[in-house]
Every structure is written in C-alpha cells, then in structure tokens.
Chain A
Amino acid sequence: MAQLFDPRIGFYLRLLALAAIAATVAAIAAWRAGTDYHYGLGQSADQPVPFSHKHHVGDDGIDCRFCHASVETSAFAGIPAVSTCMSCHSQLYTSQAALRPLLESMRSAVPLHWERLNNLPDFVYFNHSIHIAKGVGCASCHGRIDTMPLTARTAPLEMQWCLACHRNPEHYLRPKDQVFNLRWRSADQAALGTQLLHDYRIDKRRLADCSVCHR
C-alpha cells in the first residue's frame, strides 16, 4: 500500500509547530508590552470594607498621616488600627451595611484583613520614611489617590520604574511642605529639582547602588 503521507510531512509539521510556538511567544510579548494588565494597574481588590480614599481625602480633606501614622518614621507607612477608624465611626454612619465588618471587628476583636495592592518582593527593602524626608510626594507613587473611590495600584513597581527616579531624582522631588499635597504640580520642575537635590543633600552616587534596596 502506498504511504498516506509524504515523507516530508514530518518536517512541515515540525516547522508548523515551531511557528505556532513563536507566534504564541510573540503574541504574549506584544500583549505585555501593550497593556498594563500584568502590573495590576488600575485594578482594585475586594476589600473587607469598600474604603474610599476619594471620600476621606478628596472630600473630607483628612491628612494622609492621620491614618498612615508611621510614614515619616518607619519603612512601613502603617495601616490604621481599627480603633483609628472608630474614632469617627463610633459616631458616624454606624448603621451603614458597608461598615458592618468594621464594627464587627471591634466587637469580636478579630482584626480586619485588607488585601495588599502595592507589594514588593521579599528581597526589596523599601522605606517610606526616607522618601518622605527627601521630598518624594505620595502622589509620585500612589497617584491621585484623592480621586479614587476604590483604591487601585498606579505604578508598575518594577525595578526599572524605581531606577528611573533613583537615577534622576530631580525629576520628581518637591518641597517638603508639598509632599502630602496630592494636587501639587511644579511650574518649573527642572530648576526646582536641581535646587532641591542640592538642598536635600542627596548623594546621587549611591542611589543606584544595589545595597540601597537589596540586602
């Protein structure tokens, strides 16, 4: 009986398979390059309480440090204790269904479990306090949080993204009294940045050293 397939068919099949793999890889690469999805940008998480920064910061004008109390002194900005929330919410909106988990947490002494949006790998040692002290505004990394009804991530937090600032911090520095002002914009960042770099005595030589962030 004659052979059903040409002897060369095996070769074509392999070529086809190779082409399919190459096409898949190219498609994934193109998708990664074209979208922010894999960074989680603009996506919020299911939180135990649908907390709105827009309401608390944008509308009520509460300072960042009221809740994130250790941001100027610690690596960790601090997530408010339930008792901090209760300083207002023992009186306000106590009947709202959305606040029920908060009241329940206080009553049962089981703390809330918030989903983390901005998380770094364990080998990266980020410190909030030094960024605040050297005039990096909250908005530079966290975006216009005062406009977000549900909090979302706004920065990719890749090493490349960190280095963009660590190599040229002058593009991002702001006066110390404007660090917590989310609406602040500089009229002439080039001149201001160079001046602040000098004023803050930032040693640019070591900012891109591995040891600054990795230990």
Chain B
Amino acid sequence: MSSLNDHRRFDADAARAALRSKRGPALWRSLEELADSEGFLIWLRDQHSSIAEALQLDRRGFLKYMGASLALAGLSGCGRPPRGQIVPYLRTPPGQIEGVPRFFATCVLRAGYAHGVLVQSRMGRPTKIEGNPHHPASLGATDIFGQADILQLWDPDRSQAISHRGDAAARGELDAALLAMTAGFDRDAGAGLRVLTGTVTSPTLSAQLDELLTKYRGARWHVHQPVDAANEFAGAQLAYGRAVSTRLHFERARVVVSLDADFVSDPAGGLRYAHDYAASRLKLDNTASRLYVIESAPSLTGTMADHRLPLRPDDMSRLALQLAKRLGLSVDVPDDTDPERRRWLDALTTDLEANRAASLVVVGPSQEPWMHALGHVLNAALENVGSTIDYCEPVEKRSAAGCTLSDLVAAIDSGCVDTLLMIGCNPVYDAPVDLRIAEALKRVPHVLHLGLYHDESASLAEWHIPMAHVLESWSDARAYDGTASIVQPLIAPLYDGLSAHEVLAQLLGEEVTEPSVRVRRHWCGLLRDDEAWEAALRTGVIAHSTPPPLTAAVRPGFRLAPTLRTSSEDALDLLFRSDPTIGDGTWANNGWLQELPKPLTQLTWDNAALVSPALAARLNLRNGDVVELSLQDRTVRAPIWVMPGQAPQSVTVHLGYGRRRAGRVGDGLGFDAYSLRTTTAPWRSAGLRLRKTGDRYALAATQHHFNVEGRDLVRSGTLQEYLHDPHFATASDRFAGPPPSLYPSHAAGEYTWGMSIDLNSCIGCSACTIACQAENNIPVVGKDQVSRGREMHWIRVDRYYEGSAERPRVYSQPVPCMMCEHAPCEVVCPVGATVHDSEGLNLQVYNRCVGTRFCSNNCPYKVRRFNFLQYVDESAESLKAQRNPEVTVRGRGVMEKCTYCIQRIESAHIDADRDDRRIRDGDVVTACQAVCPTQAIRFGNMADPQSMVARAKASGRSYVMLGELNTRPRTSYLARLRNPHPSLKDEL
C-alpha cells in the first residue's frame, strides 16, 4: 500500500507550470493530476492492472477451473423449489396491509435538534428514512446522518445489556440500585447528584429536568455537546443582552456574506438553509442572489460561493471589522493595505448597501462571541432583522450559569459529586483534553451511563444502561426554528433499551407508565383531544408550536470589544471542525458514513491533517506523510492531506476519529483530534508545531477512481454569459443534437424515463449517495477495497477543481448511471445480462451475469460496480432486517449499477395500472431525488413535455456528458452558473 501512495507525488512547481500553459476551461480532480506527474500515470495504471496479477494461470489450469465451475454450475440448477414458512399475525394490526410498506412521521436528532422524517415500516420493520415535507427543517429532505440512522438502529454493535462494572446485570438489580440512590437523594436533597446531557431541545425532557432540579434542590444539570453553538449564544448575549436563537431566511436574501459559516452543513437548520439558498439561485435573471464566503477551511458553502476568499482566522476578523467600518459603524481598525482585500471590501460594501433588508451576514460557530455580536450589529444596521433574519426564544434548553462540563469537573475535584448520570453523551472520548475527565470520573462513587453503545464513557461507569434508539422511543424535539414534533417509536426497543425520560422518571420516583403517556401529558395544552394528537403524529409537526419572532434590539451602550491578534507569518493555526461524514464521533461505527467519500477531500475511513498547497510546498509535505502535530505538551501523529483552497498557515483537523470503543467498524480508525482540543481553544489553537516524521500512511481516497481523463464533463459560466447566450453550455459541442448512429433506435415505450441534475443547485453534500446505499442494499467494502477502487456506490459525487491550487473553484457533480439509449455496455455482454427494456431503461440482470466485467470496461462514465468479493454481510441477523426486500441482494461475482430505482418505478407502474390510469409526474421519486435538500435531481417521463424532467431538459443550460460518443444518455446536467460582482474579477 505504501508504494501505491508513493506514486501520488505532488510537484507544486510542475502544477503551476501546467496551469500557466493551459487555456480555456481546465478542470482537475487532484493536485497530482494537475501536476501530471509520471507517478500519477503509473498509479493510475496500477489501479487497473492489480486484478490481472492476482491470479497467475496457465492454459491447463484455466481449463481445469473452467470445467469444474461448469460442472458445479450445472449441479446448482437441480434444486427443488425453494421452501419456506409463512407466519401470519395473531391479529392483524389496524391499517396494516400485508406486504405494503407504511410510513410514520417522527424525528431524528442532529446535535439535539429535530429533523422531521417519514420512516418506512415494512411489516413492523423500519427499513428506510425519508424526509418529512411538512417539517420546516426537512421539507422532504434528509442529510447523510438522517439516512444512516436506520443502519444505526440495526447496528449489531449496539449495547444490548445492562452492565454493572463491566458484568452483565439484570434489570431488577438496576432498579434496586436506582431505588437506593433516590432514597439517598430524598435525605440530602440530591446534594451530590449531577446529570450530564448533550443539547436538549425536547420540551418533555426539559420539564423532567426542571422537575428533578426542583425536587432535589442540591442537584445540578450540566450540558456537554462537543461541537456546539455556545459562541452564537454568547454573541447574542453580548449584543442583545439575552440568549436568542437565530433563524435565517435565505430565500429573501440577495447578498449573503459568510464569515466562516458553513450554513448548508449546519446541524440544526442546514437542510432548510441549503434549500432556501438554492431557491434564491433559481431565478436566472438579475435578481439571482450572490454569495461571498470568507473562510479558513474549505467547506461545502465555500464551494457554492460566487466569490471565496481563504483567510487566516485573524485576517478574517480584521476584514469583518473593516467591513463594519465601511458600513458606518464606529469601529477602530486601520484600513487594509492589501489591494485585493480592498477590492473585496469595496464590492461587499456596495452590494450590501444596495440590498438593504435583502442581505445577510452569517457568522460561523467557530468564530468568537464578539464576531457573532458584530454579525448581529451588522444585520441590524443593514435592516435585515425581520426580513432575512429573525430571532426567537432559545430553542435548546439553556443550563443555569456555572453548569458547563468544566464546572462539573471542578465540582468533582472539590469532592461534592456523589452520583453522575450521563445521558447519551460520551465525554471520556470527546471532552476537552485539559479537563482530564477520565481521571475525574474515577473519583465519583456512582457513575451511570445511558448510551446507545458501550463506549469509552460506559467503560468507566459503574452502571451502563442501553439506551433506546430514537426510532424506538417516545419523545419530542424542536427544530432549528423552534417548531416542536412528537418522536414516535417505529419498533419496540430491540435490546430493552430505556429512554432518557424513563431513567429520569425512575430517579423522580414516578410510577412506571406507558412511555407515550408522559409525552402526551406534556402536550395536553396544545394537543387537547385525540384528533389533535393524531394530527400531530400524522403530520410530524405540532401545529402552532413555532415560537413567534422576538423583537431584539441591540443593547444600549453596546461597545464591540474585538480581540484582534496579529499572528506572525510563520505561525501555524490549528483549526478543529467536526468530520463531514462521521460528525463529532457519534457516527464512528456507521459503515455507510465511514465509506462515504468526504466531500472535498474524497477520503474514506480516515481523517487527515489538511494543509494548504503553499504550506505543503514549503515544508515539503505530500499526501500520506505522517507528521506530528504538537500544541504545548500534547502531540498526535496524523497523515497529511494537501487541501486546495485551504487558508495559508492553517491546518484543519476533523474531530470524530481515533475512537477506542466505538464498535467493530469504528475502532482504531484515524487519529484523535480531541487530544489536542482544550476548553479555552475549542475551535482554533494558535502556536501549532508541525514536524515531519518521515513515516508514510496509506489513505484511501476515491478522487482518482473512475478518472475520465480531463474531458468536458462539468460546464459552468457566469450569469452574464447565460443571459447573453442561454445555450452557452452546449456551444462547444461538436454536434448539435445526437450524431447519426449505425445502431438501430429502440422503439419508444409507454414512458421514457430520464433524469436531470442541476449543478447550480447541487451542494455536493453526498446525501444522494447514502440514500441510494440505504435504498438499494449497497454493501460496505472496507478501506482496503476502497483503496483498490472497488467501492460500490451507485451514485458518486465527483469533485472537480478549476484554477489555481491556492484558490480553486470547486464543482460537485453527482454521477449515477447515464442510462444510455445506445449503451456501450449492452453490446459487449456475452450473456445478455445487461439489456434495454421497452421504456428505455438499461437493466442489469443479476442472475444472468457471469462477471466478465466487459460492460464496466466499455462504460465511458465508469458507473458500473462489481462484487469482487462477497461484500454483503450475510451473517449478522440484525442487518438482514434493515435491507430493502424490494431489491435483490447481490452476491460475489455480479456486476451492478444504478437502476433509476426500478423498484420504485415498478411499484408506481403497478399502482397506476391497477387503477387503470397513467403514471403521474411525481409518482416515481428515486431515492437520490427524494433525499436531495436542494431538489437538484429531477426524474420522470421525458416524453411528457409538461413533466418536471422534460422542462428541466428543455433549459438552455442542459447538456449531456460525453455527448460526442453518441451514447445518448438519459441522464443530463444543467450547467452551473456563477453570479460574480461586476467590479470583482470572476477570478480563479
């Protein structure tokens, strides 16, 4: 493996030379490709020759194996009809039609905030999650985590038993212990009782916590969320004198300025923000919105920007202050000397002033409180409050002052904590390292841990209680805008897990009741009768629960107190971000998320220290070099990944890796960035020392896989170009329309299925990839197989760079099967395993496939995937229950690919044919289309000119990939448009 990585050598000078010599659109996928080094070509060749070398066969051996396999294949055909049993219900549940899936509205949680979902239940088995169109945070979409929740539910590594000091214990023993504890609390008013949770938005849980703190006056509740919004609340406190939650309205904004805010990935409102932002770009005229992003670490929001400026954190703060000064605030800051930043400030100032009440300044959670306060003041000055931004009462329950994790550790140190209950959090892994929480916990006599996994914190607890999954329990939760929803269970707890409500009720000495009763009792005000309650359950939203906007005015006498530092040229900043695919570490044991190529880096199964190309060139670093990152006396070893667009002199590390007790999937992957993170510097530490060790580490990145050799695959232009020539995207095509063909055309069927993907809306979040994986039973193959180019995703999200390595433009392009009308794969299959059907779908018939892989070889889009090994886990019982019974589970030696979700097409066909009607537009929604937060993917009957897909394809921006090959793809793309400011060059 190390030799494989050695070829991935990046030569910065060669890259620059290559760029200088190029003209016109020049897209590149990786720095190695840009430099076009010889090593890259060798690596690329190796990638495809590895199979041939695996098996050295002579002619006799070959004939022997062929004979044996033929004989065995013949034998397998002699079986009796498959047998089985049918086990009917004792009583059929009301509303259940056997074999027909049902959907239930509930919520999944992201950092405590609700995302409304509809969960598909097949005969009582939750199998797939879709977004809830009625829920404000979802609008029908989910993020990657929402999709992966279903795998987490069925994860065989979930904690399955109560344990006491590591030994399995019975429920009765736990009950007795809790009873003894509550008796103690009754005596001393809970003086030694502490409860630690993550972010709480559940009104019922808040009420229970309040009740607990009232009943036991000595008890305290602490909050610990490793990646939280504490800076935002502190900023609001500064500006408004009170904590408020902020709600952004991108659909009304014409100019958006992001200061390190990756708002499309925001855990609470990101899905909605992405939707609203994409909507503001749909109008292709002079009212389209413009996005400026100033950030240190490249983010998805940055890839969407019309203008992006990578800056070090201190320079960013300075620029923000200068902007405030230009907009007329009394800020004491010297003007910038850098000509480029001056041009930026000019453009920003004119744009913001021209769009008063229709602009938005967004500040990211990594920024210090005063920056958030500055954002509030700027938005107020620009009259945006009430238009593009409004405030409401804090959505999450705020703990009393002095109730952070640090306060808890201080209390433990002073010996006044007797019992600690941890609910759904894992501080031993993800607490700031300076708190030394593991040592502190050893000094607490009774530690109880309620969690989904027997994780790092559980291993130090006296009692560990398996927690009921969110799909197994009754609860409630609020969305980013405060709208409340009921969380209802889809299935009884698989492992007798308890919810937070049940454990708190036991501490409160409540009688055991039906779990739904507690939630219902809490909402008896808004949901008075059965009808209202059932409506809330059915729609997934509690009507009239959204808090009204607050009128927040900037505190009189508010003075901005910026802390500006000037860091020297050589000093390095370490930036902490939660991992794009496994979050803060909560999702470490999820194979789908581990194998999902991380947007931007395309890394799988690992995290890395991301450095800018300039820094890499200066320190002579290349991808896979192991370095030591040191802050004060703490050191971790991390592999390097050179990240185009990273701010100079800054190193980004992603939290969430280096888990020690995550489970069989997540243990021991990557390095633990938490071991450098401290209470005082949770987002950014200055004074990083970086030392090259000389060791190499093999990283599995998919960015070179399925390389298409620099053809014109992603097309983009500016809004002005589009308005000048709406057909600019196809202007360079060699043929107008499909060229003549020797192949006969297929007769048109009743429907002509096709897909259109709008690159202007696509944010590159990869939710489509995970939704496809969940829908189509796609296996996880592991890091070793990924590094051989054998990942199985049916829809991949390609990432292209354009321009310089320091400040590239980034494009994301989802690539499913193109469903070519003249499909190159079909003509080379010797056994007819890939054939056309009468509605123009290019089918893969698994049972005919003998695994020659000719089709994959002949596919110009590289969308076919081969089961080189038995990837599907057929042994884990719980994983069987997760799979979609409508899709065949493929075995070893079979080719597979995107089917346009044929099972959904067929089910719509059957429903329509049964009712003797035609399939309506919107009846067939593919999994990738359903999940997309920005509705970038359209699918339907192209033959119907009124269908959404036909209208999309009629746009001037529509183009097909590699049209000159005359494959006549059914999947087409809409070109990306940028909307640059006239006075700023549309520069690279």
Contact = CB atoms under 8 A, between A and B. Distances in A.
A69 B87 CA distance: 15
Given A116-B83, A123-B847, A206-B838, A74 B88 contact: no
B81 A157 contact: yes
A134 B913 contact: yes
B886 A125 contact: yes
A136 to B, nearest CB: 12
Contacts of B888: 122-123, 214-215
Given A76-B99, A111-B88, A112-B87, A125 B81 contact: no
Interface in A124-139: 125, 127, 129-130, 133-134
Interface string A11-40: 000000000000000001000000000111
B444 interface: no
Interface stretch (B35-43, B447-455, B898-906): B898-906
A83 B846 contact: no
Contacts of A39: 81
Interface string B89-121: 111100001111000000000000000000000
Interface majority SS (helix, strand, loop, mixed), chain A:
loop
B889 to A, nearest CB: 7
A6 interface: no
Contact of B749 (A80, A115, A205): A205
A82 B90 CA distance: 5
Count chain A CB atoms within 10 A of each CB in B99, B100, B843, B886 and give the residue with the most: B99
A145 B479 CA distance: 56
B902 A211 contact: yes
B526 interface: no
Interface string B57-97: 00000000000000000000010111111111111100001
Nearest to B914: A133
Contacts of A130: 910, 913-914
Interface in B346-401: none
Contacts of B906: 125, 211-212, 215
Given A130-B910, A214-B847, A214-B888, A81 B92 contact: yes
B916 interface: yes
Given A74-B100, A75-B99, A211-B837, A116 B84 contact: yes
A109 interface: yes
Nearest to B89: A81
Contact of A114 (B82, B87, B835, B846): B87
A201 B916 contact: yes
A111 B90 contact: yes
Contacts of B886: 125, 215
Contact of B841 (A70, A84, A211): A211
B103 to A, nearest CB: 16
Interface string B392-421: 000000000000000000000000000000
Contacts of A205: 747, 749-750, 838
Given A205-B747, A209-B837, A121 B903 contact: no
Given A40-B80, A119-B81, A206-B839, A214 B749 contact: no
A38 B91 CA distance: 36
Contacts of A80: 88
B887 interface: yes
Contacts of A83: 89-92
B415 to A, nearest CB: 53
A105 interface: yes
A42 interface: no
B845 interface: yes
A152 B709 CA distance: 60
A115 B83 contact: yes
A111 B99 contact: no
A113 interface: yes
A120 interface: yes
Interface residues of B, number: 43
Nearest to A28: B78
A90 interface: no
Given A122-B889, A211-B837, A114 B88 contact: yes
B89 A82 contact: yes
B44 to A, nearest CB: 35
B88 A203 contact: no
B902 A40 contact: no
B899 A215 contact: yes
Contacts of B841: 211
A111 B89 contact: yes
A1 interface: no
A76 B87 CA distance: 13
A75 B905 CA distance: 15
Interface string B884-900: 00111100000000010
A76 B98 contact: yes
Interface in A67-109: 69-70, 73-76, 78-84, 105-106, 109
B90 A81 contact: yes
A9 interface: no
A40 B99 contact: no
Contacts of B83: 115-116, 119
A153 B80 CA distance: 13
A210 interface: yes
A176 B80 CA distance: 34
Contact of A81 (B88, B750, B910): B88
B91 A70 contact: no
A209 B899 CA distance: 14
A40 to B, nearest CB: 5
Given A211-B902, A215-B899, A203 B837 contact: no
Contacts of A206: 749-750, 837-839
A161 to B, nearest CB: 12
A40 B88 contact: no
Nearest to B92: A81
Contacts of B84: 116, 119
Contacts of B905: 211
A201 B903 CA distance: 22
Contacts of A120: 82
Contacts of B82: 119-121
Point out which of A80, A130, A200 has the most chain B C-beta atoms below 10 A from its C-beta.
Answer: A130
Nearest to B88: A79
5 contacts: A39-B81, A83-B89, A83-B92, A125-B906, A206-B837
Across the A-B interface, give the 6 residue pairs with the lowest CB-CB distance, nearest first: A76-B99, A209-B837, A74-B99, A81-B89, A79-B88, A133-B914
Interface of A: 28, 38-40, 69-70, 73-76, 78-84, 105-106, 109, 111-116, 119-123, 125, 127, 129-130, 133-134, 153, 157, 200-201, 203, 205-206, 209-212, 214-215
Given A78-B97, A214-B888, A215-B899, 10 more contacts: A79-B88, A122-B888, A123-B846, A130-B914, A206-B839, A210-B835, A214-B843, A214-B846, A215-B886, A215-B902
